[in-house]
Amino acid sequence: MSNQDSLPPVLDLSLDGGALTARLVDIPSVSGDEKLLADAVEAALRALPHLTVDRYGNNVVARTHLGRAERVLIAGHLDTVPIADNLPSRVEGDLLYGCGTSDMKAGVAVQLRLAATLPAPNRDLTFVFYDCEEVAASRNGLGHLAAQHPEWLAADFAVLMEPSEARVEGGCQGTLRVRVTLSGTRAHSARSWLGDNAIHHAAEVLGRLAAYRPRRVEIDGLEYREGLNAVDISGGVAGNVIPDECVVTVNFRYAPDRSEAEAEAHVREVFSGFALEVTDSAPGALPGLAQPAARAFLAATGGEARAKYGWTDVARFSALGVPAVNYGPGDPNLAHKREEHCSLSAIAECERRLTDWLC
């Protein structure tokens, strides 16, 4: 391979947001294979004299140092889900089609445009481009940065460019999954009185779930709705055997005013008397909309904020003490689809609103 062949693709940050998005989309970056794109992003940012640039793995962080009273962090992930015969990108009218257009290379393009066009913003800025968001949490680049270089992520407020149809989605829910194990005694089904059917014991677990009344919690003017639901049930040995074990998997989606420990304690209280095992847990994130930067952000972006239902990486910022919101030009309903696309006008409008906020 020649030296020229080994050079990263060139990203022209003078392109408009839509054209830059197309360029990003045409550089494949499936989770675990982001190096080429990370190289291109790093090279483009290092050419901007008003930024200092650091890199850890395939994670790139660029910062201004203007001595402003506040620092805002704008983050986006470089990776996509596997390509589904949807590259290269193509334009049809106002729509740009291709893998990662909505989730979330349109948002990354906006980040890069802001980095290039705002050498003297009204707040100091940190731009974070990270890898492996679409796969296991243990591989998440933002998590690696938080563990190895938390000082790079120091900020007063953060914006995660997750697709949100250019509407502010505050914070995120926490999530907890538990296995409720029910025990019985195995026997021949023809002599069932000699056994104790573990599956039948699930009736009480399901009854508690059916009777459960989830909270609705208002935080910073946003309503978060909790939910406690069975998402899997397994049991049984054979068609002629009374089962001696049944497992019900329950998922608790909880408002961000609860900690992980409080969420677990609540679920254990609901299922008092049953054996529980926590299999997965991730904390929520408070919206932080009372922060001055957040209020200014809402005013600049227009419309009313809504609560984020689901978990996103804003929770990582919350764990660092940085209030964060989700805001990006993509449509979350199109993420990961074969026909994934993003509106070119939405990309331009998102960039304009963020520019207004930062100027």
- DSSP for 125-137, please give it: EEEEEES--SS-G
Residue 178, SS3 per DSSP: strand
Residue of 79, 131, 156, 226 marked active site? 79
β-strand 157-160 against 324-326: which pairing, if any?
parallel
Q: Tell me if residue 133 is catalytic.
A: yes
Bigger pLDDT: 121 or 323? 121
Q: Tell me if residue 79 is catalytic.
A: yes
| 276 neighbors 268 (Cβ within 8 angstroms) | yes
Domain-by-domain residue ranges, the chain? 3-172+285-358, 174-282
Residue 74, SS3 per DSSP: strand
pLDDT in tens, 260-301: 999 999 999 999 999 999 998 989 988 888 878 788 888 888
Residue of 103, 133, 134, 264 marked active site? 133
Report whether the peptide linkage leading into residue 88 is cis, meaning its omega lies within 30 degrees of zero: yes
Q: Where are the beta strands (DSSP E) in 45-160?
A: 52-56, 59-63, 71-77, 90-92, 95-97, 124-130, 157-160
CATH number 3.30.70.890 is the correct assignment for the domain at 3-172+285-358: no
pLDDT in tens, 171-204: 899 999 999 999 999 999 999 999 999 999 999 9
Percent of the chain with pLDDT over 90: 81
| Domains 3-172+285-358 and 174-282 equal at CATH topology level | no
The pTM of the full predicted model, rounded to 2 decimals, is 0.83
Q: Which amino acid is at 358?
A: L
CATH number 3.30.70.360 is the correct assignment for the domain at 174-282: yes
Residue 135: the pLDDT is 87
